[in-house]
A and B are shown apart, each in its own frame.
Chain A
Amino acid sequence: MQRASAREMAAARARGRLRIYFGAAPGVGKTRAMLEDARKQVANGVDVVVGLVDTHDFGDLNSMRAGLESLAAPQAMRGKLAPVQALDLDAALARKPQLILVDDLARRNPEGSRHFQRWQDVDELLDHDIDVYATLNVLNIESLKEVVQELTKIPFRETVPDSFFERAEQVTLVDASPEDLVERLESGSVHLPQAQRMRRDLFRAETLASLRDLALRQATEHLEAQRAARRRSGSSSGGWPASKKVLVCIDHTAVAEKLVRAGKRLAGFLHADWVVAYCETSRGTRLNLDERERVQTCLRLADELGAEVITLAGYAMDRRIVELARQKNVGRVVVERPAGALLQRWRQRSILRTLERRAPEVDVFQVSGEYSTFGAEYAMVPSAVPPATRTRERGLGAAMPYVWSVAVTVAAMIISTSVFRDASPANHLIIYLLGVLFIASRLGFWPSAVAATLSVLASDYFLFPPYFSFEVARPQDVITLGVFLLAALIASRLTDDLRFQSEGARMREQRVRFLYEFTRALASVQTTEEVAAVAAQQISRELPWQGRLLLIDAGGRVAVAGTAGASPAVGPEPDFDIATAQWAFDNRKPAGWGTDTAADVRDLYLPVSGPENRFGVLALHPTVTSLVLLPEQRRILDTVVAQISQTLERIRLASEAHHATARVETETLRNSLLSAIAHDLRTPLASIVAASSTLLQGRERLSREQERDLTETILEEGQRMTKLANNTLEIARLEAGAVRLQREWYPLDEIVGTVLSRMEDRLAAHRIETQLPAGVPMAQVDLVTIAQVIENLVENAVKYTPPGTRIEIGARDETTQVVFWVADRGPGIAAGQARRIFEKFYRGPGKETQSGVGLGLTICRIIVEAHGGTIAALNRDGGGAEFRFTVPATEAPPRLEPEA
């Protein structure tokens, strides 16, 4: 399960421990107990800091707090009624004590805070490996909210999710008898937030007794659950049978939340996992914003309470629920007791019937849809949606379908009276029916029902005697009209369902297609920038969001620069809130619109991270506000984020592998370079040192000939070293791109002639033959480097062929390229070496004594390739080697006017 793995991850990152001082009501002494324990910890040498403890100016608490280090006085922030205190989260994180004290987990933070509630601040502290002592009343446990409301008749809006409570390492129950509490209240030693009302409703002895009961039970359950968890982790095979799951089916109605809480209690009681299924009914696609938000909030609640959340959409909901129950190994189903409008009731009954018939082994719990006014008023966690967006679907927009139904009915009336002047009423009714179905297919059931009613009235007025009156004279006409109305309504219903089904199918198809295309687009990208570009483009084009992938820079900061690659086609750059994006990244949690963090920001920020690495944040700016709150949207976005992070992970791995290979290659190359140069430097140096020292010291013993020999050795070895140094430098310069080619048009004979004239003395021993075409063919080359290529090739030929043999040097114009060749009649190239000889430091086999490392041909290859050409070596017919290279022409040769 995803939640579990997320939690395991959190645990792996070393999370702080949470101890909750838990009590039935204000005044039991939680703060006091917490401060006392804290002082003990200080005595033990633990680094303790008071994060936020409100002593309400009770003398003894004040003095207890004064003994402890406090965070800088939390500033009073703007609150609606009274200044609301908030924990200075950033200061606490910066201070990073071992243990921090935080009073009253359930309190709401002032507007503009990072988190909506204080427990979320604490959660973040825990995430940063800080231990926390905190206090909490049983009144504020999320799943007990309604029970508590029934009990106290006070609406509590500030609650802490059960999942958070369950994650506390220790729950210390601070108990006080109801009588003591009442006494304490009367003596004024208890602070109450909403003093008057609380005092009256809450502090009745019997209420307090019930709350105490609840608190005791909750604390015991926590203990129980921990014991169970220990047992489970202790022996994986050991006999804690996995109980069957609880399935809660909800729709968009207000009772959904109650169902979720009931499911949670049932699951908690059974120690079972539970699933919440949102059944998107035919109205699902045209819910108004409030309803969408309600569904969204409800699913979030379920998620917070630890449920697995699933959306069921489409036709035959009853059968889909049964399938799901089978699939998830569900033992109990929680549904709403049939209530409400006729059709709704019918649908709910059909679910019950199907469950009974097809899954008799499943227990069905029906929860009443009735709820108290408190429930309706305070049921929801306050909305995270800015108020401005809520009114959009009200007013004129909502009335439009009905205006259309009137218009269409009037049109049908006009057509029927003008076409069938004397036909029977049945013919006319067909036209009206057509109008009704048209409305149903376009605008849904209710507008078409209005159209059907209007049609009945109109046909009665015009078609049935007495004419131009709403009275009906003949009884059979009443039946006709009644049957017409019924038929029209049934047809409307069916048409509407059909419309919904096709719309649903279309939407599902769209989602699948989008995800498929998105995945395919990502499959081919190779760089992080491309991923950002694809994400921005695909999301903005297909989803009601404008998306940008914000990548992180080297310092772990979310950088807007990472959006590079966004094309103008995806619209102007939205003004993203970088601070929120950074938070989402740092905490690996979504932030912004519709989340718990920085909910007043209009954009949504989803962290993109892999199993080991965090890559950045997907920032989303809503473009179609009415669509973005559909529960389905978040699931699509989650998939999108998962795809993006997978792709980024793939790219990271690929580049790591690439770098590793490149490193190895560079290393190997450097080693071979070093050993080759070392060898080629040492050998001539040895000769030079030996020869010159002999000349210096043993001169009188040497004949003139020997002396000359030694001197020649010094000269030749010096030249050999020069060649090596030059070639090495040349390669370095070429490979570093330091050589700029200045390609100009040269006659072929000039290119060849340049080389041959400067090599004249070196060629004396061989017969040189040039093979050039007639006319003035030209090649576009950089003369300096190409001349060097030819020189190296000719020199090679001289080096490897016996004196007196012929060396052929030629060139030919082939329109798109010029081919040069240098051919000899030497021993040729050893089998399989034709390609290798162009590699660095290759030397022909058995040619140890020949001077120079095999860099000359490498230089040739680099230069020719820089010209866009190719170079190859081959053995000639009749013996000998031939080197050929091409230089392509990039433009037409210049035409020069002959001299006048």
Chain B
Amino acid sequence: MNGGAHKASILVIEDDAQIRRVLTTSLEAYGYDMYAAETGAEGLAIANEHKPDLVILDLGLPDMDGLDLIRELRTRASQEILVLSARGMEEVKVRALDLGADDYLTKPFGLFELLARVRVALRRANRDIQEEERLILESIGVTIDLTHRRITRAGEEVHLTPIEFRLLATLARHGGKILTHEQLLSEVWGQGHEENTQYLRIYLGGLRKKLEPNPAQPKALLTVAGVGYRLALDTFPLGGNTP
């Protein structure tokens, strides 16, 4: 189901025994190889030894700061990192994403939501979008041709300004990942423009008007309040949207 020959492996680093149990049991039932760690140190050791494809990390660990753990994990391997965090902690989420976490999930969450995020993350880990030629945003009927810099909506070409295109391409290249304001600004405008969130908002508004059927109810270009933006490459239920 996850497109590879081998079973994907997932490491859960979570100090609460109940949540750890529920996560490992449920994900195992869906066919993943599961590792579990109670502390950050233990998690790092397992990550080094088994090189899991995905790390699910609770930010509130007893022995070390979750953000430090992300930094550590990022220096060793390129596994996907999914962060679990409490509600209303947007600043922490932003910092986690800036440090290299790939996605986050707010507690409490349902299994359905967790599975969806895991699948997206693993798929992202298994392919390199940079080399993709075309991406299709099924929900709004938009096709993005990165190599020829062409955007079509319902078969008709849509004209984008250079910045609008770079913005869309950046979001697309990260394959549905949430990008923080800072990440977007530095990738689209270059270093030194990280403060100009106002520009970001305006251009994103422009993109929505050009691509979304109803900008007030966006389906693909999504705002994550207080964190950043995300391009919904996959809609639920998941379908094979790669060519």
Chain A residues within CB distance 8 Å of chain B: 715, 718-719, 722, 726, 729-730, 733, 744-747, 749-750, 752-754, 756-758, 768, 770, 772, 776, 783-784, 787, 809, 894, 896, 899
Bound-state Cα–Cα, A752 to B214, Å: 11
Bound-state Cα–Cα, A722 to B208, Å: 33
- Asked if B163 is at the interface (CB within 8 A of a chain A CB), the reply is yes
- Minimum CB–CB distance from B87 to chain A (whole Å) comes to 6
- Residues 189-208 of B at the A interface (beta carbon under 8 Å): 197-199, 201-205, 208
Scoring B residues 108 to 123 as 1 if CB is less than 8 Å from chain A, else 0, what string do you get? 1010000000000000
CB pair A783 B214 closer than 8 Å:
no
- Asked if B223 is at the interface (CB within 8 A of a chain A CB), the reply is yes
Query: Beyond A749-B208, A750-B205: 8 further Cβ-contacts under 8 Å?
Result: A729-B87, A733-B88, A749-B205, A749-B216, A753-B218, A754-B223, A756-B218, A784-B226
A776: chain B residues at CB < 8 Å are 202, 205
Scoring B residues 219 to 231 as 1 if CB is less than 8 Å from chain A, else 0, what string do you get? 1001111100000
Bound-state Cα–Cα, A747 to B208, Å: 11
Given the contacts A730-B88, A749-B208, A750-B223, A756 and B201 also touching, CB distance less than 8 Å: no
CB pair B218 A783 closer than 8 Å:
no
Bound-state Cα–Cα, A744 to B223, Å: 14
CB pair A744 B208 closer than 8 Å:
no
CB pair A753 B225 closer than 8 Å:
no
Sort A-B residue pairs by CB-CB distance and give the 7 closest, nearest first.
A770-B216, A784-B226, A754-B223, A749-B216, A787-B225, A749-B215, A747-B205
- Asked if B234 is at the interface (CB within 8 A of a chain A CB), the reply is no
**Interface of chain A: mostly helix, strand, loop or mixed:** helix
Given the contacts A783-B226, A787-B225, A753 and B198 also touching, CB distance less than 8 Å: no
B204: chain A residues at CB < 8 Å are 750
Bound-state Cα–Cα, A768 to B218, Å: 13
Chain B residues within CB distance 8 Å of chain A: 87-88, 90, 108, 110, 161-164, 197-199, 201-205, 208, 214-219, 222-226
Bound-state Cα–Cα, A860 to B123, Å: 39
CB pair B197 A744 closer than 8 Å:
yes
CB pair A753 B208 closer than 8 Å:
yes
- Minimum CB–CB distance from B57 to chain A (whole Å) comes to 21
Given the contacts A733-B88, A899-B163, A757 and B218 also touching, CB distance less than 8 Å: yes
**Interface of chain B: mostly helix, strand, loop or mixed:** mixed
- Minimum CB–CB distance from A797 to chain B (whole Å) comes to 15
CB pair A770 B217 closer than 8 Å:
yes
Which of A718, A753, A758, A899 has its CB near the most chain B CB atoms (within 10 A)? A753
- Minimum CB–CB distance from B145 to chain A (whole Å) comes to 21
B108: chain A residues at CB < 8 Å are 718-719, 722
Which of B197, B204, B225 has its CB near the most chain A CB atoms (within 10 A)? B225
Given the contacts A754-B225, A787-B225, A899-B161, A726 and B218 also touching, CB distance less than 8 Å: no
- Minimum CB–CB distance from B78 to chain A (whole Å) comes to 29
Among residues of B, the one whose C-beta sits closest to the C-beta of A722 is: B108
Bound-state Cα–Cα, A715 to B22, Å: 14
- Minimum CB–CB distance from B201 to chain A (whole Å) comes to 6
Among residues of A, the one whose C-beta sits closest to the C-beta of B212 is: A753
A733: chain B residues at CB < 8 Å are 88
Among residues of A, the one whose C-beta sits closest to the C-beta of B199 is: A896
CB pair B216 A726 closer than 8 Å:
no
CB pair B198 A745 closer than 8 Å:
yes
CB pair A783 B216 closer than 8 Å:
no
Among residues of B, the one whose C-beta sits closest to the C-beta of A730 is: B88
B226: chain A residues at CB < 8 Å are 783-784
Q: Which listed residue, B90, B162, B217, touches A753 by the CB 8 Å rule?
A: B217
A784: chain B residues at CB < 8 Å are 90, 225-226
CB pair B161 A757 closer than 8 Å:
no
Q: What are 23 residue pairs bridging A and B, where the CB atoms are less than 8 Å apart in the complex? A: A715-B110, A718-B108, A744-B197, A747-B202, A749-B215, A750-B201, A750-B223, A753-B217, A753-B223, A754-B223, A754-B225, A757-B222, A758-B222, A768-B217, A772-B216, A776-B202, A783-B226, A784-B90, A784-B225, A809-B216, A896-B199, A899-B161, A899-B163
